[in-house]
């Protein structure tokens, strides 16, 4: 897998400054040249945290603001690269003092406060594998991920401790919980809990970053599939090569930019492009603790003179709903370049942004597994509205037939595949090597997406090849939702599908049958929705629950989601020969 492709060999070209000549750039691009723009650790290793923060200490970026934090309640904090270096050194020391060593898994479960970013970088400095958990996750969602990863330490806050307390008896590997009390709530540490503030105040600011190699694990994000619990896509330190290059050439980050990525680090966009991409380029970035509030978002762009913005189609559609009037109340003239990822970006959103901001959203495509952007509309080329763009140099994408033996003719739908390897690709699904291996065939990585490629080489998203549901850019696994549903005392069996939604792309719809003694009622449906929200998260909770006497099953007892979906959407039911009588 480490073999280079022929077109990557025998080439001593330096990375071109832009993608104006797309074909030429592609033929001359070598990932090795990107390595040369990065530094290695003084001892020769490669470490994401060093590339993002500490290497800038040797340059004039040392005292540049790296992080502007917009906290709730109009609080603001600023941190330079030098500040972050010292704080993350301290946090790495705290981890070592708790017995954390290279390769241990350390997870975070925090809102978007500066301490989240300090923890993530500190964990990586210590050579541990960081697993950021979305702070809106409920009990089952955190338990599944902490259990599967065998996380040894968790960094959280008093506001979320009740969820941790509810599951920690089921987590034998979890030894310590570090509690960040950003909002100074009354809190006394319990057994195995450590106050972040106290531990940091006692820790040295000097630290020698762990000598990780490019193939050591650095970060893992859990992602949902059709079957089974979420899988931990594990990345290595070499991923920084992809983060750095794509942040530079796709997001077009320059030294004087003020950049804002709206994604939470609980999802891959929030780490690859909310931490490592911008900071490895030495760019100042904005982080807002608050979620989506339209006027606040525009206020932030105005206040901080944001130049480059990376967000998601659902948010853009929400902005469109509020319309031009809201835009006109703000001075958004600082915006230079805007990008979108996670779901198909409708052509109307591209046109709308051009009309109201004067610049258009550039869509790009990638996945948790790919680690960095693979297909994109580029800064200096015309956008094809409705298309995800063309492959990044160094990336080969194709539309393959059902057995992955041949490329489909131009314009025809098929499986979107990528030639491997590339530096930021995932190296395993944690504890699920077989599943990982099954994603590769005939030299291709199978993305699980259906797409087509047009005559100009642009890719167009068609849909998922599996049952995964995309709710506002977040993948929801039907199996996880079904598992949560059947834990409710009233639910006998459950089948979950995605149904189209004009704002959020898809929403979850659940079909359930009830246990004896339970009556269908609006109250029960509400209770079931709340139950799933508390176990998983709001995106996974069914927007609609339909109660049926029984669910369609195969003769072997498997609920036929495909049939539920066909019936719901009025599509042909296809082959029903295995349907239980």
CB 464 within 8 A of CB 434: no
The site map against ligand PRX for 318-357 (x = CB under 6 A) is -----------------------xxxx-------------
Dist CA 20 CA 10 (whole Å): 23
Residue closer to ligand PRX (CB basis): 179 or 425: 425
Which tokens belong to 488? 């409710």
Q: Check binding of 268 to ligand PRX (CB under 6 A).
A: yes
The strand pairing partners of 130, in sequence order, are 106, 219
Burial class (CB in 10 A: 0-12, 13-18, 19+), 143: buried
The contacts of residue 363 (CB under 8 Å, 6+ apart) are: 339, 340, 341, 344, 345, 350, 376, 377, 383, 387, 388, 389
The contacts of residue 182 (CB under 8 Å, 6+ apart) are: 111, 113, 115, 157
Residue closer to ligand PRX (CB basis): 47 or 540: 540
In the complex, least distance from residue 498 CB atom to ligand PRX, rounded to whole angstroms = 11
Residue closer to ligand PRX (CB basis): 300 or 341: 341
In the complex, least distance from residue 382 CB atom to ligand PRX, rounded to whole angstroms = 17
Q: How many residues of this chain bind ligand PRX (CB under 6 A)?
A: 21
Residue closer to ligand PRX (CB basis): 127 or 414: 414
Residues 196 to 255 in contact with ligand PRX, rule: CB under 6 A: 223
Please report the beta strands in 187-312, taking only residues with DSSP state E, as ranges in sequence order: 193-195, 217-223, 231-236, 258-261, 284-288, 308-311
Q: Check binding of 269 to ligand PRX (CB under 6 A).
A: yes
The site map against ligand PRX for 295-314 (x = CB under 6 A) is --------------------
Dist CA 568 CA 562 (whole Å): 10
Q: 498 phi and psi, to 5 degrees?
A: -100, 140
Handedness of CA 396, 399, 401, 406 (dihedral sign): negative
In the list 281, 288, 367, 377, the residue contacting ligand PRX (rule: CB under 6 A) is: 367
Residue closer to ligand PRX (CB basis): 70 or 363: 363
In the list 276, 366, 429, 479, the residue contacting ligand PRX (rule: CB under 6 A) is: 366
Binding segment toward ligand PRX, per CB under 6 A, in 58-66, 73-81, 358-366, 569-577: 358-366
In the complex, least distance from residue 344 CB atom to ligand PRX, rounded to whole angstroms = 4
In the complex, least distance from residue 195 CB atom to ligand PRX, rounded to whole angstroms = 33
In the complex, least distance from residue 491 CB atom to ligand PRX, rounded to whole angstroms = 27
515: which DSSP letter? P
In the complex, least distance from residue 267 CB atom to ligand PRX, rounded to whole angstroms = 6
In the complex, least distance from residue 379 CB atom to ligand PRX, rounded to whole angstroms = 16
Binding segment toward ligand PRX, per CB under 6 A, in 294-302, 366-374, 482-490, 492-500: 366-374
Residue closer to ligand PRX (CB basis): 209 or 469: 469
**What is the edge-to-edge ordering of all strands in the sheet holding 153-156?**
193-195, 176-179, 153-156, 105-109, 129-133, 217-223, 231-236, 428-429
Q: By beta-carbon distance, which residue lies closest to ligand PRX?
A: 368
Dist CA 372 CA 393 (whole Å): 12
Residue closer to ligand PRX (CB basis): 250 or 306: 250
Residue closer to ligand PRX (CB basis): 98 or 472: 472
In the complex, least distance from residue 466 CB atom to ligand PRX, rounded to whole angstroms = 10
In the complex, least distance from residue 250 CB atom to ligand PRX, rounded to whole angstroms = 12
Residue closer to ligand PRX (CB basis): 379 or 448: 448
In the list 134, 260, 365, 378, the residue contacting ligand PRX (rule: CB under 6 A) is: 365
Binding segment toward ligand PRX, per CB under 6 A, in 33-41, 81-89, 404-412, 442-450: 442-450
CB 244 within 8 A of CB 51: yes
- In order of 357, 380, 495, 511, 559, the CA distances from 578 in angstroms are 53, 53, 17, 20, 11
Cis status, amide bond into 489, omega within 30 of 0: no
In the list 368, 374, 387, 483, the residue contacting ligand PRX (rule: CB under 6 A) is: 368
Which tokens belong to 278? 């911008």
In the list 447, 483, 513, 539, the residue contacting ligand PRX (rule: CB under 6 A) is: 447
The total of other beta-carbon atoms located within 10 Å of residue 519's CB is 9
In the complex, least distance from residue 313 CB atom to ligand PRX, rounded to whole angstroms = 8
Q: Check binding of 127 to ligand PRX (CB under 6 A).
A: no
Listed residue (144, 157, 224) closest to 185, CA to CA? 157
Residues 459 to 488 in contact with ligand PRX, rule: CB under 6 A: 461, 464, 470, 475
In the complex, least distance from residue 363 CB atom to ligand PRX, rounded to whole angstroms = 5
CB 226 within 8 A of CB 467: yes
Coil, strand, or helix at residue 509?
strand
Burial class (CB in 10 A: 0-12, 13-18, 19+), 562: middle
Coil, strand, or helix at residue 309?
strand
Residue closer to ligand PRX (CB basis): 153 or 399: 399
Residues that bind ligand PRX (CB under 6 A): 223, 268-269, 341-344, 363-368, 388, 447-449, 461, 464, 470, 475
């Amino acid at each position: 897998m480490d073999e280079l492709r022929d077109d990557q060999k025998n080439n001593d070209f330096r990375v071109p400054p832009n993608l104006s000549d797309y074909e030429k750039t592609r033929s001359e691009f070598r990932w090795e040249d990107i390595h040369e723009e990065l530094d290695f650790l003084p001892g020769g290793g490669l470490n994401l945290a060093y590339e993002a923060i500490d290497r800038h200490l040797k340059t004039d970026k040392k005292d540049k603001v790296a992080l502007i934090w917009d906290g709730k309640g109009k609080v603001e904090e600023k941190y330079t690269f030098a500040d972050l270096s010292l704080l993350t050194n301290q946090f790495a020391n705290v981890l070592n003092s708790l017995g954390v060593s290279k390769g241990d898994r350390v997870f975070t479960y925090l809102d978007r406060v500066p301490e989240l970013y300090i923890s993530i970088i500190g964990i990586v400095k210590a050579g541990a594998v960081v697993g950021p958990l979305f702070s809106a996750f409920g009990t089952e969602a955190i338990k599944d991920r902490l259990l599967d990863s065998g996380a040894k330490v968790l960094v959280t806050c008093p506001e979320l401790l009740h969820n941790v307390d509810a599951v920690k008896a089921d987590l034998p590997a979890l030894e310590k919980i570090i509690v960040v009390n950003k909002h100074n709530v009354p809190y006394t540490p319990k057994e195995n809990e450590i106050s972040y503030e106290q531990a940091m105040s006692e820790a040295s600011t000097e630290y020698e970053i762990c000598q990780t190699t490019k193939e050591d694990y650095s970060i893992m994000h859990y992602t949902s599939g059709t079957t089974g619990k979420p899988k931990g896509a594990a990345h290595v330190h070499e991923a920084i090569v992809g983060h750095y290059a794509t942040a530079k050439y796709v997001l077009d980050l320059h030294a004087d930019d003020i950049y804002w990525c709206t994604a939470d680090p609980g999802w891959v966009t929030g780490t690859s492009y909310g931490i490592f991409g911008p900071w490895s380029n030495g760019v100042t970035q904005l982080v807002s603790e608050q979620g989506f509030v339209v006027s606040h978002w525009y206020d932030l762009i105005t206040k901080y003179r944001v130049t480059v913005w990376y967000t998601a189609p659902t948010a853009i559609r929400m902005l469109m709903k509020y319309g031009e009037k809201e835009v006109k109340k703000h001075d958004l003239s600082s915006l230079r370049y805007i990008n979108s990822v996670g779901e198909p970006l409708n052509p109307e959103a591209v046109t709308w942004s051009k009309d109201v901001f004067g610049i258009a959203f550039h869509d790009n495509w990638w996945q948790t597994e790919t680690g960095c952007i693979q297909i994109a509309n580029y800064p200096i080329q015309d956008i094809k509205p409705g298309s995800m763009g063309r492959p990044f140099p160094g990336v080969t994408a194709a539309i393959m037939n059902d057995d992955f033996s041949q490329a489909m003719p131009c314009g025809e739908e098929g499986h979107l595949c990528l030639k491997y390897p590339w530096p930021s690709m995932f190296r395993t699904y944690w504890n699920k090597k077989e599943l990982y291996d099954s994603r590769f065939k005939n030299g291709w990585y199978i993305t699980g997406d259906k797409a087509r490629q047009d005559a100009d080489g642009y890719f167009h998203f068609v849909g998922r090849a599996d049952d995964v549901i995309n709710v506002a850019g977040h993948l929801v696994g039907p199996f996880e939702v079904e598992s949560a549903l059947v834990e409710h005392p009233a639910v006998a069996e459950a089948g979950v599908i995605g149904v189209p939604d004009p704002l959020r792309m898809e929403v979850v719809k659940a079909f359930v049958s009830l246990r004896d003694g339970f009556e269908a009622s609006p109250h029960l449906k509400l209770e079931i929705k709340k139950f799933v929200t508390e176990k998983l998260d709001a995106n996974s909770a069914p927007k609609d629950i339909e109660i049926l006497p029984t669910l369609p099953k195969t003769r072997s007892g498997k609920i036929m989601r495909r049939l539920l979906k066909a019936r719901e959407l009025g599509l042909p039911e296809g082959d029903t020969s295995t349907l239980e009588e």
